[in-house]
Every structure is written in structure tokens, then in C-alpha cells.
Amino acid sequence: MKTRIVTGVLAGAGFLAVLALGGWYYHALLAVMAVVAFDELVRMSGVKRRDPAAVTGYAGVALAMWPAAGGGNPWPVDPLDGLWLVMLLIMTGMVLTNNRTPIDRSAVLLFGVLYIGFGFRQMASVRWDDSGLAVSLAVFACIWLTDAGAYFIGSRFGKRKLIPKISPNKSVEGAVGGLVLSVLAALAFSLIRPDLLDVRWAAVFGAAVGVAAQIGDLIQSAYKRHYGVKDSGRILPGHGGVLDRCDSWLIVFPFVQIVLGGLL
């Protein structure tokens, strides 16, 4: 537990410091995290790093994070076109290697490019905006308080299992507790920055982020259970890998941009 706490404090403080710096510093950090996260997925899926499909996937994630001058759209091509090109290369590699990486594993790699590359890309995109620091902090506050509420309230009051076959330790009570804290975080943000989030919509924003965060966490639990692993990696002592720490982020930030953008 001590290792977990020390790692969490140091990693969290470092991440927030780079987030505050913003610009290329934050973008570069997210790009490195994206590649490491994809590497964790590659290893979990049983594909060798030097496999042509895996190499294409790494390139696809790097392409997703490649920044235009001054931020903006990181893709040098339309995102959907870029994803299609990555798919074509992965499928072509499958053919040229005589199915060494079969269709199911190739599909996992393509999923990883979209899930990880697009997720981190959206985090970077939010921060490049003029109000990016405030919005990023608000979203992270909702995510982290959702996690904290789900853990502590679930540990104390949890009786009814949420989805036991996917994550046996998560409870309905914990999920509700996480949602409540996320809503409170959004309400606090709306009072501090009413110019960015109308207080009348704060509860909706907080609840939606709380739900998306818990879905992101459950998605991570689902594929780790499928692969029979406890942690996606070991880069963070006591916390596992990048995917273990960023699972909710990868779902919440695209969700905020695509679905909740009109509220900000």
C-alpha cells in the first residue's frame, strides 16, 4: 500500500505539473503514454512487437498523436481516412505473413489504434484550447472523484455486485457514490467558472462523465479478464501499467468532445 500511495502521489503531481505547462510538453507526454499503452495492449494480445501488424499499429498511434503546428487537429489527414489506411496496412500484413497474425488479433490491434490513439488525441486536443487547462482539470476532477467514490463508498457500503463476471469487486452502491461525487465536482466547477459550464447543466455533465468513467474502467476489466492478466503493465509500481491508470480517460475525453461538447 505504501508503494502504491508514494507512486500515486509522485506520478499524479508530475502529471498535473505537465498538464499546467500545456503546449508541446503535455502533448509529448501524452504521445509517449499512448505508445506505452499500445505496447501494453500488444503484449496482452500475444502479438510480437516486431510483427508487421504490431509495427503498423505503433505507427498508427504515433500518427494519431502527431501534432499540427500550434496544436489543432493532430492528424495530418482526416482521422477516418487515417484509420482506414492503418486498417489496410494491418490487413495487408496479415496476408503477406500468411496469417501469422490472424484476423482476430489484427482486429485487436486496429481496436487499439482507435481506442488508445484517439483517446489520447482527444486529451491533447482539449488542452490546446484557450480554456483547455480549466476544462481538463474539471474532467479529471470528475473522473478521479468517480474512482474515489466508487472505491471508498463501495468498500464501506457495497453489498450488491455491479457486474460480477467482469469486475467482482465493484458494487452498485460504489457506482452510485462515484456518480454523486462526479456531480459535486461538476457543480463546483460551474460555480468557479460559470462562463465555461452553466450551473443548470452541471449535474448532467457530472453524471454523464461519471457514467462514462465507470464504463471505461469496466472495459479495461473486461479485456484484462479475457487475457487473464491482473495488470496491463508494470511501469507504475503498485498501480500497474498506463492502461490501468488511463482506462477511464480514454473513454471520457472523446465522450466529452463528441457528446458533451455543447455543454462547455
Question: What are the residue ranges spanned by the domains of the chain?
Answer: 1-127, 129-264
69-112 pLDDT tens trace: 455 555 556 667 888 889 999 999 888 888 888 888 889 999 99
pLDDT for residue 77: 63
pLDDT for residue 60: 92
Q: H/E/C letters for each residue in the chain?
A: CHHHHHHHHHHHHHHHHHHHHCHHHHHHHHHHHHHHHHHHHHHHHCCCCCCHHHHHHHHHHHHHHCCECCECCCCCCCHHHHHHHHHHHHHHHHHHCCCCCCHHHHHHHHHHHHHHHHHHHHHHHHHHCCCHHHHHHHHHHHHHHHHHHHHHHHHHHCCCEEECCCEEEEEHHHHHHHHHHHHHHHHHHHHHCCCCCCHHHHHHHHHHHHHHHHHHHHHHHHHHHHHCCCCCCCCECCCECHHHHHHHHHHHHHHHHHCCHHHC
pLDDT for residue 243: 92
One-letter identity of residue 41: L
pLDDT for residue 76: 58
pLDDT for residue 3: 64
Calpha distance 34→168 (Å, rounded): 28
Counting as low any pLDDT under 50, the low residues of the chain are 69
pLDDT for residue 100: 84
Number of residues in the chain: 264
Of 175, 201, 177, 174, residue with least CA distance to 187? 201
pLDDT for residue 68: 54
Of 117, 108, 50, 52, residue with least CA distance to 83? 117
